[in-house]
Amino acid sequence: MQKPAELELEDILYVTNTFPKAFFVWGILEKGKLQPHEMEEKLELYNPNLSTFSFLERENFNQYCKRSLSGIVDVEWVKDERNNDIPAYSLKKSLWDIPIQDYAAFILTKSMELGVDPQDYLSVGGNSSKKAIKATMDILLHLYGKSKDDVANISAISGLDCTSTSRHMERLEEAGLVERTTYEEERFGYEWKSDKSMRDLDLNKPSVVGIGSNAVYKVALQLSTGCKTGPGNLVKFTGYTSCTVRKAISELVRQGLITKLSKGQYSQNYITDLGKTVAGEILMPLQEAWKGRLKLSIEPTDEQLIEAMEMYKARL
């Protein structure tokens, strides 16, 4: 199957990022030309139970084709019975060899099977741009395989700068797809590296002697227990001054024993159970299908379609 050079998976996800649009791509749009009123008639003929939803009507179909779906449809102006020019839409001929309806059907069906709304993973925080969709897909699939990572590394995966990645991670957290580290009221904190132990601590270095080996040891001991905390709490735990604690922290960073974490670039981000479900059961199969390694062959039932539209309606 030869894909159009300009077409990417995020282009498909962009036009199927809500239940109504996914249904339109799967159940209404076709290779032959259809006027908006003919689309409405097709809905009433094949899916009469959906015709009661006000957002599934000719005007919305017309708006889909003119706006968010304009990249996958061709438009031809035809005359109606009153000799007025009206648009007729069809799937772009360059996409006829792409089973785009299969992608839409898969998103509809799997989303309902799992009880998630496409907007929760394809329109995170209300941002449904193709760039945001690709970032979400890349981030969730990366964390699905790695479990956790910091924003600095995730930024390289997502193609966004660190600031934009951090903001996107906030939206993913609000959607329940990831969790991020927090440190009480402090702006940043530190975490002991999982592959290190207290035996790796060198208290004989001249830099340690200058700080005080007891201070470095106590700060290291506190962090090695697995807690994630900031300098303020370490002052309370150890009894040393803020200046001494910060010097001890710097020494532990130099020895490669701890990692700096913050709510920004260095925050640790963990994929949630919901994120794993979306990544493993929806995004990964879609990606495998796009690479030609999997055939998507499921379609939604009438009951699932009604439930999907009810879910969408509840968010309006």
Q: How confident is the model at residue 267 (pLDDT cuts 50, 70, 90)?
A: low
Cβ contact 273:178 at 8 Å: no
Q: Which of 89, 86, 105, 102 is nearest to 32 (CA)?
A: 89
DSSP H/E element including 268:
strand 268-271
- Rounded mean pLDDT of 240-256? 91
Tokens in use for 178?
């990831």
pLDDT confidence bin for 185, thresholds 50/70/90: very low
Angle between helices 242-254 and 213-224 (to 10 degrees): 70
CATH number belonging to the domain at 9-107+301-315, selected among 1.20.950, 2.60.120, 1.10.10, 3.30.70: 1.10.10
| Cα–Cα distance list, 113 to 71, 150, 175 (Å) | 29, 31, 18
Mean pLDDT value of segment 71-80: 92
Model pLDDT, residue 82: 85
Run of H or E including 191? strand 188-192
Q: What region, left, alpha or beta, does residue 159 occupy, with left being phi > 0 and alpha being psi -120 to 50 degrees?
A: left
Ranked by mean pLDDT, which of 11-20, 117-126, 143-152 comes out on top? Answer: 11-20
Three-state SS at 11: helix
Share the mean pLDDT of the chain: 90
The pLDDT confidence band at residue 211, using thresholds 50, 70 and 90, is very high
Average the pLDDT over each of 78-87, 117-126, 186-195 and give the range with the smallest value. 186-195
Look at residues 220, 218, 221, 246 and name the one whose alpha carbon lies nearest to residue 232: 246
What tokens does 60 get? 């919305």
The pLDDT assigned to 182 comes to 55
* pLDDT at 264 (0 to 100): 55
Q: What are the domain boundaries of the chain?
A: 9-107+301-315, 188-262
pLDDT > 70? residue 266: no
Single-letter residue type at 219: V
pLDDT value of residue 150: 79
